[in-house]
Amino acid sequence: MAGSGTAHMRTAAERVLVVDDMVVEFPVGRKQVVHAVSGMNLDLLPGETLGILGESGCGKSSAGRAVMQMPKPTSGRVSLGKRELTGLKVRELRGARARMQMIMQDPISSLNPRRKVRDLVAEGLAIWGYDGDDKDASIRETLEAVGLDPDVVWDRRPHELSGGQCQRVCIARALMMNPDVLICDEPVSSLDVSVQAQILNLLERTKENYDLSMIFIAHDVSVVKNISDRVMVLYLGKTCEVLPSGGLQDEALHPYTRMLISSIPGEEARAETPESPHDEVEVPLSASATELPSPLNPPSGCRFRTRCPLATDLCAAEEPVMREVGAGHFLACHHVAVPDGDAPRLTVLSDEENVAG
């Protein structure tokens, strides 16, 4: 399996979610297409958190929504447990989708401003026609589980709550459906820093208490590192690197991942890009100052090449394949060398040497 786009996929029978070669494209006008996600592969084990990391505009949110089938991906497969979702009819999909819930980026705008908290949390139950005697007790229990006092917020509307309280209501609403997978799309980016830690801790506790698996989408390296078990780095819809979160800061090798890490305040690259085309480097200093290319016309070969300080002609001519460079560590880059008995590292090679390798 090494050397393919699915190199990082596992074969465990208990995988709760599998995304296979997912493509998400949006037509623009008559002839143009936005290439939001191109050939994504991911899997998720029970109780695991997969962080999806990348800049704004790299396809993270499009990927999360496509997993939820909102809308369905252009091509590829999404399987929840042993059930393949992309081929289901509307009625069947509606039932299967209840096992996945999504936490949106802006908690206030994702709540109906006219409804009270008790009704917002019970939305899923209302959709499914459940009105049992224990409904109010379940709502109260779930509100308490997310750190809200039911007696205080019961009859309040979203505009009467803080951003952090609204996000807790969103989490409670998702938990009422007893999902297997929780997809969090930038759930703390719109919150104050002081509130972010509270929500992240809440998500951690929630995952353990409710036996959830989670996809956590964000552009903040520190947040993704702290909450995730594994991290997938996405650039212009393509997966660059997949590795355990514990090695994100010190073991990441892809030039794009290193660029993201260098954006952390106080984090500086440890080596300059060498002048000699044969010198070895531990990490590239930073990416080019050029802007993110348009997803309407992504670069050929490696999509990061227009900003990469190590790019060669080979990077434009050939798309790098995903390959394993360490235990649980996979990346797609022509400039990674793995000497026998040595740690993998980035190298600046001539095109001839890259082709030969």
Render pLDDT for 138-155 as a digit per residue (tens, 0 to 9).
999 999 999 999 999 999
Q: What is the pLDDT of residue 52?
A: 97
Considering only residues 96 and 242, tell me which one the structure prediction assigns the higher pLDDT: 242
270 vs 60: CA distance, rounded Å: 28
Same-domain check for residues 231 and 253: no
Angular region, 64: left φ>0, alpha ψ -120 to 50, beta rest: alpha
Same-domain check for residues 119 and 201: yes
- Is pLDDT at 347 greater than 90 in this prediction? no
Considering only residues 274 and 98, tell me which one the structure prediction assigns the higher pLDDT: 98
Instruction: Grade residue 31 by pLDDT with cuts at 50, 70 and 90.
Output: confident
Work out the end-to-end distance of the chain between its first and last CA atoms, rounded to an integer number of angstroms. 19
The b/e string for 136-153 (b: 16+ C-beta within 10 A; e otherwise) is eebbbebbebbbbebeeb
* Average of per-residue pLDDT values in the chain: 86
> At which of 235, 266, 300 does a domain end?
235
Phi, psi values for residue 75, rounded to 5°: -155, 175
Same-domain check for residues 220 and 260: no
Same-domain check for residues 106 and 223: yes
pTM of this structure: 0.88
Answer whether residue 180 is part of any domain: yes
Same-domain check for residues 102 and 141: yes
Same-domain check for residues 258 and 143: no
- Is pLDDT at 178 greater than 70 in this prediction? yes
Q: Which range of residues forms the domain containing residue 323? A: 249-356
* Total domains, the chain: 2
Same-domain check for residues 262 and 309: yes
Same-domain check for residues 131 and 226: yes
Same-domain check for residues 225 and 278: no
Q: What is the pLDDT of residue 341?
A: 61
> At which of 212, 235, 258 does a domain end?
235
Instruction: Grade residue 272 by pLDDT with cuts at 50, 70 and 90.
Output: very low
Same-domain check for residues 148 and 80: yes
